[in-house]
Structure 1
Amino acid sequence: MKIGLYFGTFNPIHIGHLIIANQLAEESDIDQIWLVVTPQSPFKKKQSLLDNYQRLDMVYLATEDYEKLEPCDIEFSLPQPNYTVNTLAHLQEKHPTHEFSLIMGEDNLKSFHKWKNYQVILDNHDIYVYPRISEGKVETQFDGHKRIHHINAPIMELSSTFIRKSIKKGRNVKPMLSAPVWKYIDEMGFYE
């Protein structure tokens, strides 16, 4: 089975994440997309991050109606900070019959050469890249690489940061979230 790994803090998961994940599940040769909830990214500060399990709960709520999308908490049990190369090795060991691929935005591909052991990842895993807002095509050292696949997906300008800031200001963000996620955030008073 071919599994696409879509990493994120999902703080909170929003419709942009779902649109991209679903588009990849429907338009590529990937059988399932696992939304990997990241406890701590080496590139992000942790101040406004909700508890790991609260974010995982939101991913469960957001994906329950999508057959090909699955929440994944594999990084919760791995050493912090998490590095993708370690997560991939752990998953491959745990699920030897699965083929794991990475899903990332064009902006991440631009800095991919800075990732820990990026060449090991590239030698062993396909990478599916979705477009991000930018001035024209993002040129990278990986253009034309046989393991890099550019996917036609809607360009999403929505961000979790924007949603958190809007909630803090008392704005209605309901259209930006799946109904169960909005209900959970509202009931719990998150990001206020």
Structure 2
Amino acid sequence: MEELTENFNMKMENHIQILYQRNLVSEQIHAETKDGYKKMKERLDQENIELNDKASAFEAELRKIREMLLEPVEDAFSGAEAVLKKPNEDNENLSDPISRISNELQFAKRWITVTKDDIKKLKHNVDGLKLQLKGKEEKELLLGEEVKDKEEVLLGLSKERRESIRQLCILIDYHRGRYDHLREAISKKTVHIKRVA
């Protein structure tokens, strides 16, 4: 009975020790995973901050470029419009040319907008045509290689056919010679049989 109790106690202690070791290992894995997660989160946060900074810098640069390109045009148009809109009460003779110039400016603005759109469309079309041309050039290269391969195969077949014809001619000559020899032998035998009879 005491032996059973000691065995039971030893088994229990072994189980407890195993459970304790498992618990230690799981805590260690948990700690490592937690540390790895923290490091990865910090790295991703840092990358996110850097990407946001880059995006802000690019947006600022884009704004500057837009201002540099559009500001002189807008200033010219706004200055011209301001001059044209200024009432010139002293001289009514200028109102017709001013309205004509204003109309021409409006027409020029619309023309510039339409031309920009047309240029964008043309550029898009050119890019598409370049891609098509590249695809066709690649296809042409592949077809050229295919034709070259087929020519080589046909050349090989032509050589094989010539060799086969040559061998057939040799075989025909051989059989013709054998046939002539056999005919001669048969005619000698028939002559010999006629003499004997």
TM-score (norm 1): 0.15
Q: Which has the larger radius of gyration?
A: 2
Q: Which has the higher strand share?
A: 1
Q: Which protein, 1 or 2, shows the higher relative CO under an 8 Å CA cutoff with sep ≥ 6? A: 1
Q: Which has the higher helix share?
A: 2
TM-score (norm 2): 0.15
